Amino acid sequence: MSSHHRRPGLLTAGPFLAGLLLAGVAALSVAAGAAAAPQAAHERPDLVLRGSLDGSDNHSYRMLPFTVPAGTGRITVQFDYSGHDADHTTIDLGLLGPDGFHGQDGFRGWTGGSKRQFTVATSDATPSFLPGPIRPGRWRLLLGIPNIRTDSHSSYTAEIWFNRPDDPAWEPAVLNPPLRDQPGWYRGDLHMHTAHSDGSCASQSGRRVPCPLFLTVQAAVKRGLDFIAITDHNTTSQLDAMRELQPYFDRLLLIPGRELTTFTGHAGLLGTTAPVDFRIDGRHVKDWAALAKQVAPLHGLLSINHPVRPSDETCMGCGWTAQPPIDMSLVQAIEIVNGVDAGTPFSGVPFWEKQIARGYRLAGIGGSDNHDASQDAVGLGSNPVGHPVTVVHAQALSMQAILDGVRAGHVFVDTEGSRDRLLEMSAQSGGRHAAMGDAIDAAAGAPVHVDIHVAHAAGAKLVVFLDGKPRVPSVDTVLDSADQHVGFDWRSDGRRHWLRAEVRSAAGVPLLIGNPIYVNAD
């Protein structure tokens, strides 16, 4: 839970065709595929610059001008050249804005020879480059040639992508390849705060100071997580630090996010870096419905955070009190576990189930709401990174795949943030199959076979819920092995229902909370 008083990748556009002014022997080819399908529009570059160098270019600089179209929010460059291995040819790479070296919007960075790929946006940039506004007009790649032998020749290629501010944070794909390109269950934390809002921790000398994002990432690695979302309050200033850390932490996916913090509720927004006006005051933004409609085109994931909380001077705006009520079709998830509130009066599960009963298929997720990366102890209000974890079945460990898995409800929440507990649930009827988050049709009288797989929870109890109530006759099974399947048959009455499972401790506290399978949902 975060105090209001402490608060501090989007639809793919088709490739832009831009003019190019070239000097010397450089030549231009416009990337093919301007009419590609939207989901693949940024797989290929918008512009390709090609050219060559020879020994006469040694110890010289070459400008490669190109035109940035209006509406661009990010420039990404991938550069390669021949001769660097066999002939020790070296080409350094920089970027100049429209003002060149001598204006306010001029020098934007220099790699030396250390990077073949970089990105520059208003919110973030590759280390050695500067974030800032992307003004349309004539920009330049700056090539420095510290070494090319007298009798050598080198050909170079610069591929350039232009992204709009409302494109998905995972585009272009060349910037965000999967960290693991295989389907499976991935464990992560979708709610945490750093020095970029109200995260704090003890300094070297023991003083309370803003807590560096690096420590949060380190804590996630120690917890064995696969992904985290950094959700500082109403800001995306953390993106530049994330851009620096991601190449080093190449087994932990860093997802850009923010917590939209208002006077009448908090919501996580994941997977977009676009600016959002969060000022719900009746003048700037009318209400939560208007805010949700504002973020809908950004293709991020919107989740209502800790909906059951007091909203007073101790935590202004922390409880969900949106008036008029938000259209829940604009929301994709509910934070059903915040820290250690599972099984307590602050649990978000009843609020979530109420929306499901009204016909909304919203994913139930969890988040630590961590405000101190060095924190080890658990307690209501703030908890260690990874307590709880949201476990997502995704097609890959990539930003798009994780968020798609959450949207689909292929999720369970491990309330204690274990490294290995597992809850899987599937249903079959008439040759059709559904997993958690999916829907299955079953006509009146049709049998539905349900299989539940639980691992690493021996001694706990499995409970199955039908429409939010323990099923009668109930599946009330004490799990007596470390890897166990429990199956049962249920006969449909042809009407709409939803089934979900929980694993609970001997004291009745939820340990694993599964998302529903929906029967006759449409």
C-beta atoms surrounding 498 within 10 Å:
20
pLDDT of residue 39: 44
Residues 6+ apart with CB under 8 A from 404: 394, 395
What is the token pair recorded at 428?
A: 């079959």
What is the token pair recorded at 325?
A: 């009520």
What is the token pair recorded at 246?
A: 């991601």
Q: Read off the DSSP letter of residue 57.
A: G
User: How would you list the strands of the sheet with 27-30, edge to edge?
Assistant: 27-30, 47-54, 153-163, 74-81, 117-121
CB 385 within 8 A of CB 219: yes
Mean pLDDT of 12-32: 29
CB 391 within 8 A of CB 435: no
Task: Give whole-number Cα distances, 521 to 360, 438, 498, in Å.
Answer: 10, 9, 8
The pLDDT-based confidence of 475 (bands split at 50, 70, 90) is: confident
Task: Give whole-number Cα distances, 95 to 42, 54, 66, 125, 307, in Å.
Answer: 21, 22, 11, 12, 46
pLDDT of residue 417: 97
Mean pLDDT of 45-72: 97
DSSP E strand boundaries for 59-152: 60-68, 74-81, 90-96, 107-110, 117-121, 137-147
For 432, counting Cβ atoms within 10 Å of its Cβ (0-12 exposed, 13-18 middle, 19+ buried), the class is middle
In DSSP terms, which residues pair with 452 in a beta bridge?
425, 486
Percent of the chain whose predicted confidence (pLDDT) is above 70: 91
CATH 2.60.120.380 domain residues, the chain = 27-170
CATH 3.20.20.140 domain residues, the chain = 177-419
CA distance 385 to 217: 9
Read out DSSP for 295-333? HGGGT-EEEE-S-SS--STTSTT-S---SSPP-GGG--E
Task: Give whole-number Cα distances, 10 to 44, 163, 230, 298, 409, in Å.
Answer: 17, 10, 18, 4, 20
Say if residue 500's pLDDT is above 60.
yes
pLDDT of residue 12: 28
Say if residue 60's pLDDT is above 80.
yes
The pLDDT-based confidence of 119 (bands split at 50, 70, 90) is: very high
CA distance 522 to 440: 9
Q: Name the phi and psi angles at 192, rounded to 5.
A: -160, 160
pLDDT of residue 81: 96
DSSP E strand boundaries for 98-206: 107-110, 117-121, 137-147, 153-163, 184-189, 200-202
Residue (of 276, 341, 358) closest to 307 by Cα position = 341
Mean pLDDT of 11-23: 28
Q: Could you report the per-residue pLDDT of 204-242, keeping only the tens digit for each? A: 999 999 999 999 999 999 999 999 999 999 999 999 999
Percent of the chain whose predicted confidence (pLDDT) is above 90: 84
Q: Using a CB cutoff of 8 Å and minimum separation of 24, what contacts does 488-491 make? A: 488/449, 488/450, 488/464, 489/447, 489/448, 489/449, 489/450, 490/447, 490/448, 490/450, 490/466, 491/445, 491/446, 491/447, 491/448
For 323, counting Cβ atoms within 10 Å of its Cβ (0-12 exposed, 13-18 middle, 19+ buried), the class is exposed
Length of the chain: 522
The pLDDT-based confidence of 471 (bands split at 50, 70, 90) is: confident
Handedness of CA 231, 234, 239, 245 (dihedral sign): negative
Say if residue 36's pLDDT is above 70.
no
Q: Name the phi and psi angles at 428, rounded to 5.
A: -135, 140
The pLDDT-based confidence of 42 (bands split at 50, 70, 90) is: low
Handedness of CA 219, 220, 222, 223 (dihedral sign): positive
Return the SS3 of 163: strand
Task: Give whole-number Cα distances, 96 to 72, 75, 102, 139, 342, in Å.
Answer: 16, 12, 10, 6, 52
Question: 27-170 — its CATH code?
Answer: 2.60.120.380
CA distance 296 to 9: 13
CA distance 133 to 122: 5
Read out DSSP for 441-507? ---TT-EEEEEEEEES-TT-EEEEEETTEE-SS--EEE--SSEEEEEEEEE--SS-EEEEEEEE-TT
Return the SS3 of 65: strand
pTM, whole model, 2 decimals? 0.90
- 291's enclosing H/E stretch is helix 288-295
Position of tokens 């006969």? 491
pLDDT of residue 23: 30
Q: Could you report the per-residue pLDDT of 129-141, keeping only the tens digit for each? A: 999 999 999 999 9
Which CATH number fits the domain 177-419, given the four candidates 3.40.50.300, 3.20.20.140, 1.20.1090.10, 3.10.20.600?
Answer: 3.20.20.140
Say if residue 434's pLDDT is above 80.
yes
Q: Could you report the per-residue pLDDT of 62-114, keeping only the tens digit for each? A: 999 999 999 999 999 999 999 988 899 999 999 999 988 887 788 999 998 78
The pLDDT-based confidence of 316 (bands split at 50, 70, 90) is: confident
Say if residue 473's pLDDT is above 80.
no
Mean pLDDT of 8-15: 27
The pLDDT-based confidence of 31 (bands split at 50, 70, 90) is: very low
Say if residue 30's pLDDT is above 90.
no
Least confident of 96-110, 244-258, 292-306: 96-110
The pLDDT-based confidence of 159 (bands split at 50, 70, 90) is: very high
CA distance 237 to 255: 13
Least confident of 40-54, 165-179, 362-376, 438-452: 40-54
The pLDDT-based confidence of 40 (bands split at 50, 70, 90) is: very low
Q: Is the peptide bond before 8 cis (omega within 30 degrees of 0)?
A: no
Say if residue 11's pLDDT is above 50.
no
Single-letter amino acid, residue 489: D
pLDDT of residue 368: 96
Q: Could you report the per-residue pLDDT of 323-337, keeping only the tens digit for each? A: 999 999 999 999 999
